[in-house]
Amino acid sequence: MNHIGIVLFDDVEELDAIGPWEVLAFWAKHWPQDGYEISCLSRTGGPVRCAKGLTVQAHHSFADAPELQVLLHPGGAGTRPQLEDTDHLDWVRRQRAQVPLMTSVCTGSLVFAAAGLLAGRSATTHWGSLETLASLDPSIEVRPAERFVDHGDVITAAGVSAGIDMALYLVARLAGADRAREVRRGIQYDPQPPV
């Protein structure tokens, strides 16, 4: 079985994590033959308080998480202290060494940049943090107009709701465009903003 892990931490932006969760968990539940399982992990396991007060239960701690094929690092205010948290940055670097595909949503890419994962790569983040991304590592080719950027073994998504688009793209990359369309239809994702 292939495992996709979504990182949780205090002050994670809810939709950064839950949007991709919905896409990926719907896929895994309805097409188990594709061979993917989705779980959430946090440093110590247990409950995490998100940015706007939602509490989410992690399935695993970092120490007992299964071997991952994909890791998704969301953003939110909780990423700011992570930029100087050597333990967290070291953990991210260790994941990079063993996880084939690293993905981020919103300011999760700032953590990847601080850990050195985006050096010499193209990437994106929330529009309000584009300058911060560039300042963390001037070798990053910041792509402000992209909803998500696929640089092979690292995919970064722009802000908040862009994580849903990136997760659908991930399904297409891992299981084909037809499957991604089936998932999109299943979750009735067809953005038509009212304003």
Active site residue ranges: 106
In one-letter notation, the amino acid at residue 170 is L
